[in-house]
Amino acid sequence: MVTYIFGHKSPDTDTITSSIVMANLERELGNEDAKAYRLGNINKETEYILNYLDIEAPELIESVEDDAEVILVDHNSPSESAENIENAKITKVVDHHKIAFNTAHPLFARLEPVGSTQTILYKLYKENDVEITKEIASLMLSAIISDTLLLKSPTTTEDDKKALKELAEIAELDYETYGLDMLKAGTDLSDFSIEEILALDAKQIDFKDVKSIVNQVNTASIEDVLEMKDELEKGIEEIIEREGLDLFMLLITDIVNSNSQVLVLGNAADLVEKAYGVKLEDNTALLEGVVSRKKQVVPIMTENA
């Protein structure tokens, strides 16, 4: 019976590469039926990485069957997981997010508050004496660069830095040059419709009882993205109506200068003003130094809700 390994919906680089790297680890440790899957489309950044390394994307699935054996990477919340996950058997979790699920059985769970899931997988390879090949090292370091914005995000830990440096040697890559190219590839929005941009990295996160979606797009130029402001607002209003949301936050994150412009709509928009001490003008404000949804949005918004 196959062991399904996948990350979250609206997959990013950490989710996609972690599913591949975890599947490899499982197979190396004797679970021959371990296979990586994905729950959504590959983004531009991940596409750049997979092309660069000449690796195929994992197979797309939407749901899992009853009693399917599942390993979750880079997420644990059922709302970000496959359809029917409630009826699957989760045997392992490797993740760096807060705990947002319960289980009926004891399981193997390895969660650490580090920048990237791959930093944990890097440790698991070492602990289990499994070889980190050049290809695996490249996948691991790509995700660390992606999640920490080249070690600049406040989510970055000493463990991430140490892992990235060791992995760069194995991968024989100048990680700063490669990393900036990779991140820039991820900011290319030209192929996407407004609807697609608003779904690219959208996470449903309820701040207490404020039903919200927080989406994040990286860019090398906030101005370029704000040229689409009217269309983005129209699209967001449709999502708020359709999903019955109180709040939609679009974080437009400047990966070069490490700030985010936030575009906010919904009845609870003033929660953003309260949480960050800013005044929204035309639904938008600059959040200085904010680049991490997990570390600089979720706790602060939850606290103020």
CB of 208 to a copy of itself, least distance (A): 10
**Cβ neighbours of residue 300 under 8 Å, at least 6 residues apart?**
275, 276
Q: Which of residues 211-240 bind a copy of itself (CB under 8 A)?
A: none
Distance CA(110)–CA(291), nearest Å, equals 25
Which residue in the set 41, 84, 302, 304 belongs to the binding site for a copy of itself (CB under 8 A)? Answer: 302
The DSSP element (H or E) to which 214 belongs, if any, is: strand 212-219
Q: Which CB atom, from 5 or from 198, has the smaller least distance to a copy of itself?
A: 5
**Nearer of residues 54 and 129 to a copy of itself, judged by Cβ:** 129
SS3 assignment, position 102: coil
| Contacts of a copy of itself in 84-123 (CB under 8 A) | 96-113
Q: For residues 86 and 176, which CB has a smaller minimum distance to a copy of itself in the complex? A: 86
Smallest distance from a copy of itself to CB 69, Å? 13
Site for a copy of itself in 124-153 (CB under 8 A): 127
Q: Which is nearer to a copy of itself, 86 or 223 (CB)?
A: 86
- Shortest Å, Cβ 154 to a copy of itself: 12
Structure tokens at 174: 């100048």
Q: Identify the bridge partners of residue 100 per DSSP, sorted by sequence position.
A: none
Distance from C-alpha of 34 to C-alpha of 75, rounded to nearest angstrom? 18
For residues 136, 140, 142, 144, the Cα torsion angle rounded to the nearest 10 degrees is -170
| Choice between 289 and 299, CB closer to a copy of itself | 299
Binding of a copy of itself at residue 286 (CB under 8 A)?
Answer: no
If binding means CB under 8 A, how many residues of this protein chain bind a copy of itself?
Answer: 23
Distance of closest approach, residue 239 Cβ to a copy of itself, in angstroms = 25
In whole angstroms, the minimum distance from the beta carbon of 72 to a copy of itself comes to: 11
Measured between alpha carbons, how far is 55 from 272 in angstroms, rounded to an integer?
Answer: 41
The rounded distance, in Å, linking the Cα atoms of 121 and 140 is 8
Which residue lies nearer to a copy of itself by CB, 109 or 194? 109
Which window, 185-193, 262-270, 281-289, 294-302, contacts a copy of itself (CB under 8 A)? Answer: 294-302
Buried b (16+ CB within 10 A) or exposed e, 163-191: bbebbbebbebebeebbeebbbbbbebee
Distance, in Å, from the CA atom of 113 to the CA atom of 20, rounded to the nearest integer, reads 21
Segment 255 to 284, residues that bind a copy of itself, using CB under 8 A? none
Minimal distance, residue 206 CB to a copy of itself, in Å: 12
CB of 135 to a copy of itself, least distance (A): 25
d(CA 82, CA 62): 6
* Interface with a copy of itself (CB under 8 A): 96-113, 127, 294, 298-299, 302
